[in-house]
Structure 1
Amino acid sequence: MPSYSTPGVYVEEIPVFPPSVAPVATAIPAFIGYTEKAVGKQGEDLTKTAVRLTSLLEYEAYFGKPPVQDMAISVSKRVTAGGRLLGVALSWTAKPSLPTQFLHYAMQLYFANGGGPCYVYSVGGYGNATKGAFTDAITALEAVDEPTLLVFPDAVKLANDGDYGSVVDAALTSCNKTQDRFTIADVRNAVAGGTDDNAKVTANFRARVTKNTVEFLKYGAAYFPYVNTNVPFASADANVTLTAFDVVTVADDGKETSAAVPNAAGKKLDDATLDIKGKETAVYSAIQAFIGEAYVTLPPSGAIAGVYAQVDRTRGVWKAPANVGLSLVIGPAVNATNDLQDGLNIDATTGKSVNVIRAFFGKGSLVWGGRTLAGNDNEWRYINVRRFANFVEESVRKAVGVFVFEPNDANTWVKTRTMIENFLINQWRDGALMGAKPEQAFRVVVGLGQTMSADDILNGLMIVEVHLAIVRPAEFIVLRFMQKMPEA
């Protein structure tokens, strides 16, 4: 009660609401990779700086466009004897499949699949990937509090599986250290003819991720295979090579005569001496349409990060990010069968579950797995369980900070317990916790003789125990049918 000396009217505002737990954001990925540029609004260098973004347009303003792809095509122009155009036939000399860098395309998939705010950490301009660039970035991001997901699609461009495994190890170690984020990893080279079966996944991925204990593996999930998208390659006339340019003349009697355009072979599409854009308008338009139908194949982590954000926003972090369709995706680069997924989903030897993206008739491409890399652990087997625990731990940790240096007595303990219980009741009502009643869903314990001894209190410790019954996904649904005997 304040002491008043001067006569008058004084107003006192009495707080009636107890402190509360503010839910933290759950799907804020930090993307690590190579960019065309890294320049801020004032011209400052943003290389090796975590930049918060909310859209692809904002990304391009700071970090530029995707790398232009080199292409090589053959052109065959068919004309009548009088020179009237009959058609243009085009073919790939070498059809591109994988872009030279993935980050920009991954950002497209992220936003198309429901992604929102995120961070981008550029490790440099377009060039050869190095292991140290990614591990240093992962360490640097530990100083940034908001990110909850680590995504590094460009890391699959590292020289070998061992280097990529080291980056995944670094990410899992960082997540274990901060305890507030989760790693989304790709299986490297998961395309047809590459890492495309269970044995190769074990040899090229599971064996290369050397963090083999649950305390690390529970903080990450891996996805297989790459996805074929309907996102076209970035192209430019200066990067399109004409390996052949023939003119086929069709006579009135149907006889065809072919002749190469002089000095065209090996020239670029923008070559001034050919001037295809000015002199061969129909051919130029046909080439542009043709190369516009060359679509990129990408590691899935960008799309998966978008799915996490979408599911968190529409359902909740407690819902498994699975059985969800992917936008901008034509189909998986490897068509997985049940037999293939059996070995990927459950691995008795290493326990490193790999989630599969599968194509289903009439449904499109679905994320068909929801396990962490700790696939054999009963506590932390599922992604949603791990991420919901991260969410609760981080939210409560920040909220309980108001009680630091408060008296370590029963009044503080009751306030702390009540604050956490109110927060968990809301989570239970949303469906995140099991149980018909709150007391079946969670329990918060704090107090002398319960979580603390007299010695703990003398040493300044206030220990709070939170017990949660987190919902698990229905991963295997078994329908049992039997015939019923007729009754009189």
Structure 2
Amino acid sequence: MTIVTSYPGVYVEETASLSMSISSNATAIPVFAVKNSDENFIITRQIISWLDFETKVGTFDPTNTLHVSLKTYFENGGGYCYVAQVQNLVRDVPKYDDITLLVAAGENISDAVATLCAVGNSLFAIVDGPVNELDSTYVSPYGPTPNAAAYYPWLTANWATSMDSTGKVVNTDIPPSAAVAGAYCATDRDRGVWKAPANVALFGSVTPKYKVSDFEQGQYNKGMAINMIRQFTDSGVLIWGARTLQDSDDWRYVPVRRLFNSAEKDIKKSMAFSVFEPNSQPTWERVRSAVENYLRKLWQEGGLMGNSEKEAFYVQIGKDVTMTDDDIKQGKMIVNIGMAAVRPAEFIILSLSQDVGAAS
């Protein structure tokens, strides 16, 4: 409605217009795989906290892989999560749009990773290396994939023990993926999804089942792309690696892949408003403006490289820019987005010199 101004003063006109904004959603919500035989989790269930888990299952069993996994997950900063039987992952995970991480928790989830962690699905898997000592003959069941990272060795803790039939104390092996998932949650919450979840201390009195030296890590750093958990004299137990199973230049690092996953999910979810809107300049401008605002905030928080917005990101949309006449006639709205992701300083090289000139 047009306001008729008949006298000097301030006039108010209310207008209703279609606007778009993009909100950042939680980046680390895991689902833990459990054995097919675990009757407590025939259906996928949400776990709010360690107390909630104990309430649902009863007494803590230090010999149960899921029990020790979730205990170390929550002790390392994990938030709410889901638990599902291995054979139900592919069926149930797509029903929960907040899940972003698949956690092996001692199980082989290679089929689920291949299906659910394809590019564009915004899901990342945290999987376990071998339960026995790593050697050059080890072959990962997951193959090279940018949306998964493997961790080694398995862990032990003084609270995860039992007695065998002879009365001997036996350690329960704790899957490293569980503790690492907690560290992902804590790092995302404290720093952001673009920060590598590495050089991060693990809590809950866990220690690596096997010690890893610099030489061994260097030996397996290439080819296997397995991230090590190491115990250092001065620093304690640390996650000492942030590589994906792809281990190629484009998607070598966990935070780079997860940053893109997070942005893709946020932007894709917010653009649902534009379905059935006119595929024309006003709609394109709303989309472009909203995506730029989202990426600008990401850059200002430190998630993108660059001294300027132009260096950090770009958003392209429009006729003869990202779409042809034929694309528009077919109802396609195409947006091209570029982001300069921050990469971890994995190798820090110092160049040192010493003045050995004669003393005066």
Q: Give the alignment's TM-score, normalised by structure 2.
A: 0.89
Given that residues 120 and 261 in structure 2 are in contact (C-alpha distance below 8 angstroms), is that contact kept between their aligned partners in structure 1? Answer: no
Given that residues 37 and 62 in structure 1 are in contact (C-alpha distance below 8 angstroms), is that contact kept between their aligned partners in structure 2? Answer: no
Given that residues 279 and 333 in structure 2 are in contact (C-alpha distance below 8 angstroms), is that contact kept between their aligned partners in structure 1? Answer: yes
Given that residues 329 and 365 in structure 1 are in contact (C-alpha distance below 8 angstroms), is that contact kept between their aligned partners in structure 2? Answer: no
> Does 1:109 pair with 2:72?
yes
Q: Which residue of 2 aligns with 1:198?
A: 135
Q: Which residue of 2 aligns with 1:315?
A: 191
| Counterparts of 1:116 and 1:325, CA distance in 2 | 17
> What code does the residue aligned with 1:24 have?
N
Residue 59 of structure 1 and its aligned partner are, at CA, apart by 1.1
Secondary structure of 2:125 counterpart: strand
Given that residues 36 and 65 in structure 1 are in contact (C-alpha distance below 8 angstroms), is that contact kept between their aligned partners in structure 2? Answer: no
> Does 1:144 pair with 2:16?
no
RMSD of equivalent CA atoms: 2.5
Note closer, same or farther for the CA distance 1:178–1:417 as it changes in structure 2 (3 Å cut). closer
**What are the equivalent positions in structure 2 for 1:2-401 lying under 5 Å apart?**
13-14=14-15, 18-34=19-35, 38=40, 47-67=41-61, 99=63, 101-121=64-84, 123=85, 134-155=86-107, 164=108, 167-176=109-118, 179-189=121-131, 194=132, 196-200=133-137, 202=138, 205-206=139-140, 208-209=141-142, 211-212=143-144, 217-233=145-161, 296-347=172-223, 352-375=224-247, 377-401=248-272
Given that residues 28 and 117 in structure 1 are in contact (C-alpha distance below 8 angstroms), is that contact kept between their aligned partners in structure 2? Answer: yes
Residue 181 of structure 1 and its aligned partner are, at CA, apart by 1.0
Given that residues 323 and 367 in structure 1 are in contact (C-alpha distance below 8 angstroms), is that contact kept between their aligned partners in structure 2? Answer: yes
> What code does the residue aligned with 1:416 have?
V
Q: Which runs of no fewer than 5 residues in structure 1 stay unpaired?
A: 3-10, 39-46, 69-98, 124-133, 156-163, 244-289
Residue 49 of structure 1 and its aligned partner are, at CA, apart by 2.0
Q: Which runs of no fewer than 5 residues in structure 2 stay unpaired?
A: 3-11
Q: Deviations over 1:353-382 (max 9, x none)?
A: 10000111110010000000001x111000
Structure 1 segments (4+ residues) deviating >6 Å? none
Secondary structure of 1:297 counterpart: coil
Aligned partner (choices 458, 464, 471) of residue 335 of structure 2: 464
Q: Give the alignment's TM-score, normalised by structure 1.
A: 0.67
Q: Which residue of 2 aligns with 1:273?
A: none
> What code does the residue aligned with 2:34 have?
G
Q: Which residue of 1 aligns with 2:5?
A: none
> Does 1:476 pair with 2:347?
yes
Given that residues 48 and 137 in structure 1 are in contact (C-alpha distance below 8 angstroms), is that contact kept between their aligned partners in structure 2? Answer: no
Given that residues 31 and 82 in structure 2 are in contact (C-alpha distance below 8 angstroms), is that contact kept between their aligned partners in structure 1? Answer: yes
Residue 136 of structure 1 and its aligned partner are, at CA, apart by 3.7
Residue 327 of structure 1 and its aligned partner are, at CA, apart by 0.2
Note closer, same or farther for the CA distance 1:382–1:177 as it changes in structure 2 (3 Å cut). closer
Secondary structure of 2:117 counterpart: helix
Q: Which residue of 2 aligns with 1:131?
A: none
> What code does the residue aligned with 1:59 have?
F
Aligned residues: 349
| Counterparts of 1:437 and 1:241, CA distance in 2 | 66
Q: Which residue of 1 aligns with 2:302?
A: 431
| Counterparts of 1:458 and 1:242, CA distance in 2 | 76
Given that residues 30 and 102 in structure 2 are in contact (C-alpha distance below 8 angstroms), is that contact kept between their aligned partners in structure 1? Answer: yes
Secondary structure of 2:28 counterpart: coil
> What code does the residue aligned with 2:337 have?
V
Q: Which has the larger radius of gyration?
A: 1
